[in-house]
Chain A
């Protein structure tokens, strides 16, 4: 019976040193070649609507969409799992409650989003449900009238 050739320690050590870094070098080349032919698995951006961008705290997309004419008050579907485990239809301001910070809400307000009393009530109740403390504080600070009773406010989630 023919015996298998013994593994040389040097060969094994060399492979151990070389394997992972060499893979990275190959990956570098593949990335560049892929980019040339339009294949970018590590740098692609999904198409988002304004509500989805608000839910993701993506102010770059919000700025771009509003500049190209998108309505900052229009309701739009937010796909799962961006906000919830199912699709949901909300305004950008309502979606922004999901970020748990008022940054995107303020950003939308300076770019044409309107927060009337109904919208404020919905946002407040969503923030209460999510225990989004920063947003509750922000809405309370900006409030001119008492906050709504959330038992009587229909919310998208």
Chain B
């Protein structure tokens, strides 16, 4: 008995979502158990406790070098909605929901329809999870994880653009763009996704929608720079990696005070390189330093080797498409690859003042999509091959896949280690708050009770002891 037409497609689609759920479950397992870091987290919850949504909007729509009203309002809303004062559980639920939605939309974009597509899928997911930019993205909560929000918004807009045209897609895309932009500066990448998808002829969002989103971005820039004069971070405001170490603001000013543009160019190039080659890391040429010292840890070698292999594979897949792109003709995969290139460029450009790996997380996500396309195409080409020489392709593919899987495992270990460090910090929550915000007790009559409640909840959370982790894993697990 033959299967009805399309049943294979449905089977692979279901398997795809199950696979995404399995990976999301694996990450969520660690995420739910890990206490958040105290910095920003506690302070933001105390602000949510002491101010109403309106007060927050009026007083915090813009602060020095940042304009993030949506971030403050989201935090306040989740805080207010937490049932029975179960703040951590509620923020974690939001975090896991964002993570799961991001994974599901990510795999939807890959459009898995055949066995070959499905074979390449888990690799795409381990690249997404194993990319060092994702590790930083996932492990912190402020207490809502805004960088993860940006990833989710990128996926929402890309998926909307991939649908058939409808006015509701325009509305959703414009709102998503605005929300991301007013949540955190990296949110501008969502607009880049939208414009790129439209330019590459995905028509799920109309030209009107793109124009509306662009108008919001322009309005944002005018308000930020001309009306409120919020400004942006420039040289000497924060420390950043340069060469072989992290330089403080004084050192950076001494090095680049006369010509900051040189430092900005360094940062833009380094930001792109870190996604493509895992080197430098936050501006520091770490692997090169290990090589010069003659002592390269296994994890660093794995990171650079598998990133380089993946980038070469992406380049080999992408270059033949350039002729078609010059004629402004795009197949579906082309659109995703163009989005990868555009996001990588834009993401690197906004990293000009200082380097932070988390900022590059959208580019890291699209890198996983680009690698998926490259590996799937390679497997497709290998299908009819029978020559023994073709067997050798399996060796680099095995190294690539296993190496990226190891990097994904690193995320689990990072979350385990962070859990211990974060719980330690929370144990001294009151002393810490006295030190960083001496007036915190006066903000709200229940401020002390809230801090004690949060602290007690964290110290009663079991976390793995670092000494129980086998020593040999240190060689293989990226500690950064």
Q: Inside 8 A of B316's CB, which chain A residues have their CB?
A: none
Q: Which of A7, A60, A64, A82 has the most CB of B within 10 A?
A: A60
Q: Inside 8 A of A67's CB, which chain B residues have their CB?
A: 456, 459
A146 interfacial by beta-carbon distance below 8 Å: no
Q: Are B123 and A9 in contact (CB under 8 A)?
A: no
When the two chains form the complex, which single residue of A6, A14, A24 contacts B409, counting CB atoms closer than 8 Å?
A24
Q: Which of these binds chain B: A42-50, A86-94, A117-125, A137-145? A: A42-50
A113 interfacial by beta-carbon distance below 8 Å: no
Q: Are A28 and B22 in contact (CB under 8 A)?
A: yes
**Bound-complex Cα distance A67 to B462 (A):** 16
Q: Which of B25, B426, B466, B468 has the most CB of A within 10 A?
A: B25
A22 interfacial by beta-carbon distance below 8 Å: yes
**Bound-complex Cα distance A2 to B258 (A):** 78
Q: Which of these binds chain B: A51-59, A69-77, A127-135, A148-156? A: A51-59
Give B173 Cβ to nearest chain A Cβ, in Å.
Answer: 31
Give B418 Cβ to nearest chain A Cβ, in Å.
Answer: 13
Q: Are A63 and B382 in contact (CB under 8 A)?
A: no
Q: Which of these binds chain A: B215-223, B293-301, B389-397? A: B389-397
B31-51 contacts to A (CB < 8 Å)? 33
Contact with B along A1-40 (1 / 0, CB 8 A): 0000011111011111111111111111101100100000
When the two chains form the complex, which single residue of B379, B412, B456 contacts A17, counting CB atoms closer than 8 Å?
B379
**Bound-complex Cα distance A62 to B116 (A):** 53
**Bound-complex Cα distance A22 to B402 (A):** 10
Give A91 Cβ to nearest chain B Cβ, in Å.
Answer: 19
B28's nearest neighbour on chain A, judged by CB, is: A32
B26's nearest neighbour on chain A, judged by CB, is: A28
Q: Are B397 and A13 in contact (CB under 8 A)?
A: yes
B106 interfacial by beta-carbon distance below 8 Å: no
Q: Contact residues of A with B, CB < 8 Å?
A: 6-10, 12-29, 31-32, 35, 42-46, 48, 56-64, 67, 81-82, 107, 110
B23 interfacial by beta-carbon distance below 8 Å: yes
Q: Are A43 and B30 in contact (CB under 8 A)?
A: yes
Some 17 contacts from A to B, beta carbons below 8 A apart, are A10-B379, A12-B394, A14-B119, A20-B401, A22-B122, A24-B409, A25-B122, A27-B26, A28-B26, A43-B33, A44-B462, A46-B468, A56-B465, A58-B424, A59-B424, A60-B461, A63-B427
B95 interfacial by beta-carbon distance below 8 Å: no
Q: Are B394 and A24 in contact (CB under 8 A)?
A: no
Q: Are A35 and B423 in contact (CB under 8 A)?
A: no
Q: Inside 8 A of A23's CB, which chain B residues have their CB?
A: 405
B350 interfacial by beta-carbon distance below 8 Å: no
Give B174 Cβ to nearest chain A Cβ, in Å.
Answer: 35
Q: Inside 8 A of A8's CB, which chain B residues have their CB?
A: 386
When the two chains form the complex, which single residue of B23, B400, B423 contacts A28, counting CB atoms closer than 8 Å?
B23
**Bound-complex Cα distance A150 to B125 (A):** 58
Q: Are A57 and B23 in contact (CB under 8 A)?
A: no
Main secondary structure of the interface of A (DSSP, over half): helix
Give A85 Cβ to nearest chain B Cβ, in Å.
Answer: 13
Q: Are A13 and B382 in contact (CB under 8 A)?
A: yes
When the two chains form the complex, which single residue of B122, B385, B412 contacts A9, counting CB atoms closer than 8 Å?
B385
A22's nearest neighbour on chain B, judged by CB, is: B122
Q: Inside 8 A of A56's CB, which chain B residues have their CB?
A: 465-467
Q: Are B393 and A9 in contact (CB under 8 A)?
A: yes
Q: Are A60 and B431 in contact (CB under 8 A)?
A: no
When the two chains form the complex, which single residue of B25, B388, B406 contacts A32, counting CB atoms closer than 8 Å?
B25
B365-379 contacts to A (CB < 8 Å)? 375, 378-379
Give B472 Cβ to nearest chain A Cβ, in Å.
Answer: 15
**Bound-complex Cα distance A23 to B398 (A):** 13
Q: Inside 8 A of A6's CB, which chain B residues have their CB?
A: 386
Q: Inside 8 A of B408's CB, which chain A residues have their CB?
A: 21, 24
**Bound-complex Cα distance A67 to B460 (A):** 11
B277 interfacial by beta-carbon distance below 8 Å: no
Q: Are A16 and B398 in contact (CB under 8 A)?
A: yes
**Bound-complex Cα distance A43 to B32 (A):** 11
Given A44-B464, A60-B427, are A21 and B401 neighbors across the interface (CB < 8 Å)? yes
**Bound-complex Cα distance A36 to B311 (A):** 39
**Bound-complex Cα distance A46 to B391 (A):** 48
Q: Are A13 and B23 in contact (CB under 8 A)?
A: no
Contact with A along B182-201 (1 / 0, CB 8 A): 00000000000000000000
Q: Which of B23, B26, B386, B395 has the most CB of A within 10 A?
A: B26
**Bound-complex Cα distance A74 to B68 (A):** 50
B437 interfacial by beta-carbon distance below 8 Å: no
Q: Are B30 and A57 in contact (CB under 8 A)?
A: no
Given A21-B123, A25-B122, A60-B459, are A10 and B383 neighbors across the interface (CB < 8 Å)? yes
Given A14-B379, A64-B459, are A25 and B464 neighbors across the interface (CB < 8 Å)? no
Q: Inside 8 A of A82's CB, which chain B residues have their CB?
A: 467
Q: Are A45 and B427 in contact (CB under 8 A)?
A: no
Q: Are A16 and B401 in contact (CB under 8 A)?
A: yes
Q: Are A24 and B26 in contact (CB under 8 A)?
A: yes
Q: Inside 8 A of A20's CB, which chain B residues have their CB?
A: 126, 401-402, 404-406
**Bound-complex Cα distance A19 to B401 (A):** 8
Given A18-B119, A56-B467, A63-B427, are A42 and B412 neighbors across the interface (CB < 8 Å)? yes
